[in-house]
A and B are shown apart, each in its own frame.
Chain A
């Protein structure tokens, strides 16, 4: 039973920045095809945890196991592993000097060693999935925020990752542009993509997530189904947070 094995797992994960301990011992796992939302007040360590999942932050203690490989170990070929872990950022981080196509094909050609034609085909495919085929030759500055974020998602999808990490993907967007990005996440979920999302979109989390993880002060306080977390939180801090955001 392959589906019984977690695709991504954090064990006793700690992360400190100088004297400040941001993650204080996190145990977390995500099963294939799951959509997990990490929520919590700002400064709770959500983004840091997410960034440990592809070693953008190197954990101070503990381990991150992705598909059987320990990311923290210095023996791991991190560049090869990162291709299988897509990441989408709050600020999109498209390359402003490259066209949409080059944004997508660069890693395909330089890391996955696809030839130019194949990379272009893949770029066309993923752009179709985010409904932006016609923007293939545009530069990022010519796109709206929502379009840029969809290109960023397409760039991550192009590498056929086993997991996708979303770090507040809609926080930098104007409200009317949020929907199109969430739509893409929904589609990805339908296609069976495993995803971890740090987000403040609570309505979307309730509707789409398989599981909600509530973090506070560098620890996972509570996790469960959206219904459980939003309607019947057990912990006091979860109750406070939920009543705060749903007020």
Chain B
């Protein structure tokens, strides 16, 4: 009698989350979502980190007016929820005559946010390089810029790998926010499929897709971390 109840529950669980026919029906759509998510995530990582590094380098030159601008924009971007920015860009900017596709909006907003966090992380890394490194470099005749590029930044980057990896993963996961403006990424495909089928199977497929996508990123992050760590002299 109790075995029967147990079996019913299991069957119900499978019926709710793993219906084979729905898996077959929607795997194409979820696959499409995976591609879109990958594209955006890849673009966001490249532009976000590059912009963040660029801003940190600018900040190192200590030009007052530029630094104030950088600090203010970075603080704003870090304090706003990314969803607010996405909605503001997507529904606000067209009123100014600036029309962007939802894909572009998601890419831009997440890049800005990642750039803001990356700038702060790189800046902390630059500050943590010992003063003696600057002095040694400058005493051999290297200019400020050369010392920064060849001596300080490479050391700063090694220090920042761990926090940067964490932040990058956290922000690229926000690609899921694209669903609210209709970017056909994983969550959008999954929730659309969920409302058509009235079943949670597509959502579970979406969840598995995220794990499938981000576990390797976590592992690669850990690998980079160990590869680039080096003993301090």
A residues lining the B interface (CB < 8 Å):
54, 56, 79-83, 85-87, 89, 91-97, 106-107, 110-112, 139-141, 143, 148, 152, 155-156, 159
| Residue B135 interfacial (CB < 8 Å) | yes
- Enumerate 8 A-B pairs (CB-CB under 8 Å) in ascending A order: A93-B135, A97-B154, A107-B141, A110-B150, A112-B141, A140-B233, A152-B136, A155-B140
Chain B residues within 8 Å of A95, by CB: 133, 136-137, 151, 155
Q: What would 9 more interface pairs be, CB under 8 Å, given A94-B136, A139-B233? A: A79-B141, A82-B138, A95-B137, A106-B150, A107-B137, A140-B233, A152-B136, A155-B140, A159-B140
Q: Which residues of A contact B138 (CB under 8 A)?
A: 56, 79, 82
B136 touching A97, Cβ below 8 Å? no
Most chain-B CB neighbours within 10 Å: which of A94, A95, A112?
Answer: A95
B141 and A83 form a contact (CB under 8 A): yes
Q: Is the CB of A89 within 8 A of B132?
A: yes
Which interface residue of B141, B150, B155 has the most chain A CB atoms within 10 A? B141
Query: How far, in whole Å, are A83 and B143 apart by their CA atoms in the complex?
Result: 11
B227 is an interface residue with CB less than 8 A from chain A: no
Asked if residues A97 and B141 are in contact (CB atoms below 8 Å), the reply is no
In the bound complex, residues from chain A placing their C-beta under 8 Å from that of B150 are: 106, 110
A93 near B140 (CB under 8 angstroms)? no
Chain B, residue nearest A143 (CB): B233
The reply to whether B140 and A97 form a contact with Cβ atoms under 8 Å apart is no
Q: Is the CB of B151 within 8 A of A82?
A: no
Q: Across the interface, do B231 and A141 meet the contact criterion of CB distance under 8 Å?
A: yes
* Pair B132/A93 contact, Cβ less than 8 Å: yes
List chain B residues, Cβ under 8 A from A80.
141
Are A148 and B233 in contact (CB-based, < 8 A)?
yes
Chain B residues with a Cβ closer than 8 Å to the other chain, count: 22
Residues of A within 8 Å of B136, CB to CB, are 87, 89, 93-95, 152, 155
A91 to B232, CA, bound (A): 12
How distant is B161 from chain A, measured CB to nearest CB, in Å? 13
Given contacts A89-B132, A89-B136, A91-B132, are A96 and B141 in contact (CB under 8 A)? Answer: no
Whether the Cβ atoms of A83 and B132 lie closer than 8 Å is: no
CB < 8 Å neighbour of B146 from A94, A110, A152: A110
- Judged by a CB distance under 8 angstroms, whether B230 is at the interface is yes
In the bound complex, CA of A246 to CA of B151 (Å): 41
A92 to B232, CA, bound (A): 12
Report the bound CA distance from A97 to B156 in whole Å.
Answer: 10
B140 nearest CB neighbor, chain A only: A107
Q: Which of A82, A85, A86, A96 contacts B232 (CB 8 A)?
A: A96
Q: How far is the CA of A33 from the CA of B148 in the complex (A)?
A: 34
B139 at the interface (CB under 8 A from A): yes
B167 contacts the other chain (CB 8 A) = no
Q: Determine the chain B residues whose CB is within 8 A of the CB of A110 once the complex forms.
A: 142, 146, 150
